Structure 1
Amino acid sequence: MQHHDVAIIGGGIAGLSLASFLAPHRSVAVLEREAANGYHSTGRSAAEFTLRDNAPPVNALARVSHAFMAEPPEGFATVPLLTPRGSLWIGTTGKEDAVERARLAAEDAGVAVVPLTIEEAVRRVPFLDPAYLGAAYFDPDYWDIDVDQLLQGYARSARRAGAVLLSGAELLNARHDGRRWSLETSAGAITADLVVNAAGGWADTVAALCGVKPAGIVPHRRTAVTVELPAGIDAGALPEINEIDDTYYFKPDAGRLLVSPADETPCEPADVQPEELDVAYAAHYLEEATTLTVGRIASSWAGLRSFAADRLPVIGPARDNATFFWLAGQGGFGILTSPAIGQLAAGLIAGLPLPDAFAQEGIDPAVFSPRRLD
């Protein structure tokens, strides 16, 4: 029977980023229930990198992560992980004050946002409806993330450091005998000194299998569709478009336009599928804000975004079992913060010093500890 210092449950971005940073210091196995890593949340993310649109502790993690994303280690990726995109923030008539407050807040934070007239906004996005727009500004600090390159980079670096990545290995049973964990999976049995719960929407399910008190991680369904762009529109030149109250967003995606109604519907962990009503809302918002008519949905899908009650990640040993480590609750920001969260979790597990950037950003690991949930 294989024995490892650490068994990571979940081969999404959380599990593989941790494996990448931890494997040089501990023997690691990653157990993924699906046939491919990143199948659920990671593989269905719109994946933009932003420095500001989350809670302050998460934004600090994003700032630490940006250096890694902008200049990954040599050999980590074959193409850049980040591509400049920018974001156009818009509000309809009646939301001018909300747009102005957001713009001023960004300026107060030292961000070089650009206020736009309605005509200037339409020049950036020619199919916006000027009759809909009340106000707009442009934020340059948005990037597209090449999620596949990022995920595969973590996987390669973990393997190079000796990690074992097991697919089709669903956790079926777990028992701790006071010395080590015995894990029964659909791909066989292994033992480990420490179990890391990086199971995303299934995090509380994994905790229950291990006899650990749940952390209250709730998965939420989010929907996205793609539609064809009008002839003559250069998708590569378009910014992401965000509604000021987060009612919807749309952005270029593989030559089409990705549209999401920004839904967050609590649900059971599952291979979620888009609901017809949410698909209809996506089309409605696009037609309301633009001159486009949605005649056909080219594709649609849904993914899981999982949160703790306070919407901060849960990182650290379980309150009731120090040999069970939480790495969950990263809904909506798990990909963009994965370099920082992977390093933070690896440091906590292996007793490693964190890079100076963590102290410079004022990051306190206790803010993310499961103990805050007591």
Structure 2
Amino acid sequence: MTDFIVIGGGIAGTSAAARLSELGQTLLLERETSLGYHASGRSAALYESNYGLASTVALSKASSDFFHHAHGGFLSPRGLMFIAGHGQQDAFSKACETFNVAPIDMETALAKVPILNPETVGQAAFHDAAFDIDTDRMIQTFAKTVRDTGGTVKTGQDVTAITRTTHGWQVTANGETHSAKMLFNAAGAWADPIAEMAGIKPLGFSPMRRSMARIPAPGGHDLTGWPMILDINETWYAKPDAGSLLVSPAEEDPMQPFDAWPDDMVLAEGIARYQDFVTEEVTQLTSSWAGLRTFSPDRNLVLGPATDDPSFFWVAGQGGYGFQSAPAASQYVADQVAGRASELDQATRDALNPQRFA
């Protein structure tokens, strides 16, 4: 019998498994043949600590030291630019305050992003405290920590049965049964189905599709120094990536858990909204994909023991904030298991507590 079984090999599961492996023998089970296949592998990979609800911001800020210093750091400079149309001054001012970004004049904005259209872009704001995350190295670093501390990472594991025993849990995957004292549900969009399989009351998670298109560098520009660009109404965003530009419609379409793919019409509508603010027409997509961002009913993360069984832990509801919250979220999970005091304030802990759904 192991101490901990973690179901789900995305960033939530791998980070939790890494922290738990320092407390006891840990087994990480991932259904796909590679880690971070679903939402984690389709992330915009940005660290922006002011983004999200108050509890998410608290987790992101508490993760800062890890991102900047652990294992040589996982961040590289990107920057964030907000843009607004003419006549959107009130919404623009609110966004500047929320995200702590400073307004810049149009000449400065065009120097940073030459394709902006002054006829449609009325205001712009920028700050440099936004960073690209090396997401793959982050997941692999956490997985290596599990292995280095004597734990096991298994991919290609289809969990078909979960049974409560007098000593903990039995999890059957690929015909093999594993036993552990505690079970951690980091199954992303499948968090509720995993809970139901274990006889735990589901919490009502909502997987939401988010699509992405990759387009060639607009106008042949070198995008190396361009920031991420976000419409203040969050109806689209664009981010440089490996010499191309990623454009997302920023949609949140409710879906059942599945291996998501983009809707062509949704992509087209999002690209049209993006094109309204730039001078270069999109004539080609080099690729497109979609992922499921899974939210709890109140859109806060859920980190802690289930109300109906304290040996079943929720590590779920990341809702698109999985990477930027993972270092602190996983630390908080381990702190609870170890009975240690957390650096998170009481309001944040209350917002993350599964007991709020009791």
Give the TM-score range, shorter chain: over 0.9
1:30 paired residue number: 28
- Aligned-partner Cα distance in 1 for 2:220–2:29: 46
Give the alignment partner of residue 369 of structure 1, picking from 319, 339, 353: 353
- Aligned-partner Cα distance in 2 for 1:284–1:301: 17
In the alignment, is the contact (CA less than 8 A) between 1:169 and 1:187 conserved in 2?
no
**SS, match of residue 162 in structure 1:** coil
Give 1:104 deviation, angstroms. Answer: 3.9
2:292 paired residue number: 304
1:219 paired residue number: 207
Deviations 1:307-336 (A, max 9, x none): 001110111111111221111001111110
Give the alignment partner of residue 45 of structure 2, picking from 37, 44, 47: 47
In the alignment, is the contact (CA less than 8 A) between 1:184 and 1:190 conserved in 2?
yes
- Aligned-partner Cα distance in 1 for 2:152–2:207: 28
**SS, match of residue 25 in structure 1:** coil
- In the alignment, is residue 154 of structure 1 matched against residue 142 of structure 2? yes
The code of the aligned residue for 1:179 comes to H
Provide the TM-score with structure 1 as the length reference: 0.92
Aligned length: 358
In the alignment, is the contact (CA less than 8 A) between 1:315 and 1:327 conserved in 2?
yes
In the alignment, is the contact (CA less than 8 A) between 2:60 and 2:325 conserved in 1?
yes
Give the alignment partner of residue 90 of structure 1, picking from 67, 83, 86: 83
- Aligned-partner Cα distance in 2 for 1:293–1:260: 15
1:1-374 paired onto structure 2 within 5 Å: 3-72=1-70, 76=71, 80-106=73-99, 111=100, 113-186=101-174, 188-354=176-342, 358-359=343-344, 364-374=348-358
**SS, match of residue 71 in structure 1:** helix
The code of the aligned residue for 2:153 comes to L
In the alignment, is the contact (CA less than 8 A) between 2:33 and 2:156 conserved in 1?
yes
- Aligned-partner Cα distance in 2 for 1:9–1:261: 31
Give 1:98 deviation, angstroms. Answer: 1.2
- Aligned-partner Cα distance in 2 for 1:9–1:116: 46
Deviations 1:268-324 (A, max 9, x none): 000011111111123212221101111111110000100001110111111111221
**SS, match of residue 322 in structure 2:** coil
The code of the aligned residue for 2:48 comes to T
- Aligned-partner Cα distance in 2 for 1:325–1:182: 15
In the alignment, is the contact (CA less than 8 A) between 2:14 and 2:28 conserved in 1?
yes
Give 1:254 deviation, angstroms. Answer: 1.1
Give 1:362 deviation, angstroms. Answer: 5.8
- Aligned-partner Cα distance in 2 for 1:301–1:307: 20
**SS, match of residue 314 in structure 2:** strand
Give 1:363 deviation, angstroms. Answer: 6.0
- Aligned-partner Cα distance in 1 for 2:98–2:267: 32
- Aligned-partner Cα distance in 1 for 2:347–2:90: 33
- Aligned-partner Cα distance in 2 for 1:100–1:307: 27
Provide the TM-score with structure 2 as the length reference: 0.96
Unaligned runs of 5+ in 2: none
In the alignment, is the contact (CA less than 8 A) between 1:286 and 1:292 conserved in 2?
no
Question: For residues 105 and 331 of structure 1, do their structure 2 counterparts lie closer, same or farther at Cα, with a shift above 3 Å needed?
Answer: closer
Give 1:365 deviation, angstroms. Answer: 2.4
- Aligned-partner Cα distance in 1 for 2:94–2:302: 31
Give 1:246 deviation, angstroms. Answer: 0.7
Identity %: 37
In the alignment, is the contact (CA less than 8 A) between 1:194 and 1:323 conserved in 2?
yes
Give 1:180 deviation, angstroms. Answer: 2.1
| Deviant stretches of 4+, over 3 Å | 361-364
- Aligned-partner Cα distance in 1 for 2:282–2:95: 30
**SS, match of residue 58 in structure 2:** helix
- Aligned-partner Cα distance in 2 for 1:235–1:167: 36
**SS, match of residue 291 in structure 2:** strand
Deviations 1:245-264 (A, max 9, x none): 11110010111000001001
In the alignment, is the contact (CA less than 8 A) between 1:33 and 1:171 conserved in 2?
yes
Question: For residues 187 and 231 of structure 1, do their structure 2 counterparts lie closer, same or farther at Cα, with a shift above 3 Å needed?
Answer: farther
- Aligned-partner Cα distance in 2 for 1:105–1:275: 31
The code of the aligned residue for 2:58 comes to A
The code of the aligned residue for 1:258 comes to L
